[in-house]
Amino acid sequence: MAVNLGSNDSGDLAENADINITPFIDVILVLLIIFMVAAPLSTVDVPVELPVSAAPQQPRPDKPIFVSVKADLGVALGEDAVDRPALGAALDAATKGNKDERIFLRADKGVPYGELMGVMNLLRGAGYLKVGLVGLEDTSGGGQP
């Protein structure tokens, strides 16, 4: 509590209800410095090698629809090569317009991740949201190639 020492006719010391905010500002500045130091440390870029999936194999549909991204970055629907802009129309013909049909997307091991995401964006843009990624089954049991 603070006391006002100014002249007072009654002779009693009146209480001053002001809060001393200096310690509060000190604490805030220390927290600011801590967060300024800690924030860049939490966003470190780390190269990642994705593991082989050991998930149980799902039952295969009678007539699966495969979209493949080849090593030369060409796209194929089943066995037929398809231009990327025509992929949506080709899928509509293969699925008879059924947008709920699961599309199996597979890509060559050397295809850049950005190219694979580009094909997934084409599938999403055409209205096909059920996309399954195809990979090799890990038979060694270790989870790593």
List pLDDT tens digits, range 61-88. 778 888 888 888 888 888 888 898 988 8
Q: How confident is the model over 105-125, as pLDDT tens digits?
A: 888 888 888 888 999 999 999
Q: Where are the domains of the chain?
A: 2-41, 65-133
Asked whether 73 and 107 are in contact (CB, 8 A), the reply is no
> pLDDT tier at 142 (50, 70, 90 boundaries)?
low
Highest mean pLDDT among 7-16, 35-44, 61-70: 61-70
Residue appearing with tokens 């060409």: 74
> 48 pLDDT band (50/70/90 cuts)?
very low
- pLDDT over 70, % of the chain: 71
Q: Which residue has the tokens 């013909």?
A: 93
124: phi then psi, degrees, rounded to nearest 5: -65, -40
49 pLDDT exceeds 90? Answer: no
Selection from 24, 123, 106 nearest residue 71 by Cα:
106
pTM: 0.55
* Fold topology of 65-133: Nucleotidyltransferase; domain 5 (3.30.420)
- Whether the Cβ atoms of residue 120 and residue 105 lie closer than 8 Å to each other: yes
Q: Read off the pLDDT band of 33 (50, 70, 90).
A: very high
